[in-house]
A and B are shown apart, each in its own frame.
Chain A
Amino acid sequence: MVAASDILLSVEHLTMRFGGLVAVDDLSFQARQGDITALIGPNGAGKTTVFNCITGFYKPSEGRLGLCHGDASVWSELEALTDSGKRSVTRGDGALYQLERLPDFLVTQQARVARTFQNIRLFPGMTVLENLLVAQHNRLMLASGYTLIGILGFPSYAAAERAAIDKARMWLDRVGLIERADDPAGDLPYGAQRRLEIARAMCTEPVLLCLDEPAAGLNPRESAELNALLLTIRNEYAISILLIEHDMSVVMEISDHLIVLDYGVKISDGPPEIVRNDPKVIAAYLGVADEEVAQVEAEVGL
Chain B
Amino acid sequence: MQAGSQDRRVELTRALRDAGVTALLAFGLFLPLIGFETQQNIRNELILTTRLPLLFTIVAIVGVGRLVYSLALDPWLKQRTMRPPQATPSAWRAPVAKWFIPFSIGFVIAYPIIVVAIKGLGGAVKWVDNFGIQILIYVMLGWGLNIVVGLAGLLDLGYVAFYAVGAYSYALLAKTFGFSFWILLPLAGLLSSFWGILLGFPVLRLRGDYLAIVTLAFGEIIRIVLINWVDLTNGYAGISGIPRPTFFGISFNANDDGFAAVFGLEFSPIYRTIFLYYLILALAFLTAFVTVRLRRLPVGRAWEALREDEIACRSLGINTTNTKLTAFAMGAMFAGFAGSFFAARQGFVSPESFTFLESATILSIVVLGGMGSQIGVAIAAIVMIGGTEIMRELDFLKQIFGSAFDPTQYRMLLFGFAMVLIMIWKPRGLISSRDPSVFLKERKSISSDLVKEGHG
Within the complex, which residue of B290, B312, B326, B439 is in contact with A127, where a contact is CB–CB below 8 Å? Answer: B439
**B94 located at the interface, meaning its Cβ lies under 8 Å from any Cβ of chain A in the complex:** no
Contacting pair B317 A165 (CB below 8 A)? no
Contacting pair B312 A144 (CB below 8 A)? no
Interface size on A, residues (CB 8 A): 48
Contacting pair A122 B312 (CB below 8 A)? yes
CB distance from A35 to the nearest CB of B (A): 22
Contacting pair A126 B318 (CB below 8 A)? no
Contacting pair B312 A138 (CB below 8 A)? no
A-B contact count (CB 8 A): 140
**A71 located at the interface, meaning its Cβ lies under 8 Å from any Cβ of chain B in the complex:** no
**A108 located at the interface, meaning its Cβ lies under 8 Å from any Cβ of chain B in the complex:** yes
**A242 located at the interface, meaning its Cβ lies under 8 Å from any Cβ of chain B in the complex:** no
**B249 located at the interface, meaning its Cβ lies under 8 Å from any Cβ of chain A in the complex:** no
In the complex, which residues of chain A have a beta carbon less than 8 angstroms from the beta carbon of B308?
122-126
Contacting pair B305 A165 (CB below 8 A)? no
Interface size on B, residues (CB 8 A): 38
Contact with A along B128-153 (1 / 0, CB 8 A): 00000000000000000000000000
Complexed CA–CA distance, A131 and B371 (Å):
20
In the complex, which residues of chain A have a beta carbon less than 8 angstroms from the beta carbon of B439?
127, 129, 181-182
Q: A182 and B315 in contact (CB under 8 A), knowing A121-B309, A141-B298, A187-B450? A: no
Within the complex, which residue of B299, B318, B440 is in contact with A169, where a contact is CB–CB below 8 Å? Answer: B440
Within the complex, which residue of A121, A151, A200 is in contact with B311, where a contact is CB–CB below 8 Å? Answer: A121
In the complex, which residues of chain B have a beta carbon less than 8 angstroms from the beta carbon of A126?
301, 304-305, 308, 436, 446
**A184 located at the interface, meaning its Cβ lies under 8 Å from any Cβ of chain B in the complex:** yes
In the complex, which residues of chain A have a beta carbon less than 8 angstroms from the beta carbon of B326?
147
Contacting pair B317 A108 (CB below 8 A)? yes
**B398 located at the interface, meaning its Cβ lies under 8 Å from any Cβ of chain A in the complex:** no
In the complex, which residues of chain A have a beta carbon less than 8 angstroms from the beta carbon of B298?
133, 136-137, 140-141, 144, 147, 150
**B411 located at the interface, meaning its Cβ lies under 8 Å from any Cβ of chain A in the complex:** no
Contacting pair B312 A121 (CB below 8 A)? yes
Complexed CA–CA distance, A144 and B312 (Å):
22
Contacting pair A144 B299 (CB below 8 A)? yes
**A237 located at the interface, meaning its Cβ lies under 8 Å from any Cβ of chain B in the complex:** no
> Which positions 104-120 of chain A face chain B at CB distance < 8 Å?
104-109, 114-115, 117
**A6 located at the interface, meaning its Cβ lies under 8 Å from any Cβ of chain B in the complex:** no
Contacting pair B305 A123 (CB below 8 A)? yes
In the complex, which residues of chain B have a beta carbon less than 8 angstroms from the beta carbon of A106?
317
**A134 located at the interface, meaning its Cβ lies under 8 Å from any Cβ of chain B in the complex:** yes
> Which positions 205-246 of chain B face chain A at CB distance < 8 Å?
none
In the complex, which residues of chain B have a beta carbon less than 8 angstroms from the beta carbon of A122?
308-309, 312
Contacting pair B311 A123 (CB below 8 A)? no
Q: Would you mind naming 18 contact pairs between A and B with Cβ atoms under 8 Å apart?
A: A57-B311, A57-B314, A117-B315, A122-B309, A124-B451, A125-B304, A126-B446, A127-B439, A129-B440, A133-B438, A134-B301, A135-B316, A137-B305, A140-B298, A146-B299, A147-B326, A153-B293, A182-B441
